[in-house]
Amino acid sequence: MKLRNHPLMSYVSMRNWPPAWLWRDGSEDTRPAGEVGLLRHVILSDIDPPKRCFLVMEHMGAEYIGYLSFENSAFCREIYRVLRDHCGNPIYEIGDLDISYAANMDQLTGDKCVAKE
């Protein structure tokens, strides 16, 4: 299952991928939308338990920031790790990542996925 299609990639029943992008720095704001640019940084929220990741991406000489909100903090931490491991990659490639290891999970605790029994 691709990251962009995972059922837990949502917040209050609204899909969170790809994030909306807000201009942060650099050349002119081109108002990018969708799976564009390169992921440069990912930051996990300091609020405990973390339910939000902030993403910084580069597109056409400018930097943009977006965020992903989650209802499940353990899944948020897992997505943070996935994104951190793919910094420097195109956003569309990140959306294509296979996270099928979490496809049949309906309960997450701590830092690990717990399979439905």
Specify if 51 maps to a domain.
yes
Per-residue pLDDT of 35-66, as tens digits, reads: 999 999 999 999 999 999 999 999 999 999 99
Tally the domains of the chain.
Answer: 1
Domain presence at residue 32: yes
- For 100, phi then psi, to 5°, come to -65, -20
Domain assignment present for residue 94? The answer is yes
Residue 57 is assigned to a structural domain of this protein: yes
Query: Alpha-carbon distance 32 to 35, whole Å?
Result: 9
pLDDT band at 92 (very low <50, low <70, confident <90, very high): very high
**Is 112 a domain residue?**
no
Q: How far, in Å, CA of 63 to CA of 26, rounded? A: 6
How many other CB atoms are found less than 10 A from the CB of residue 28? Answer: 9
Please give the mean pLDDT across all residues of the chain. Answer: 89
- Looking at residue 79, which CATH number applies to its domain? 2.30.29
Structural domain includes residue 65: yes
Q: Give the global pTM.
A: 0.85
Range of the domain at 46: 3-104
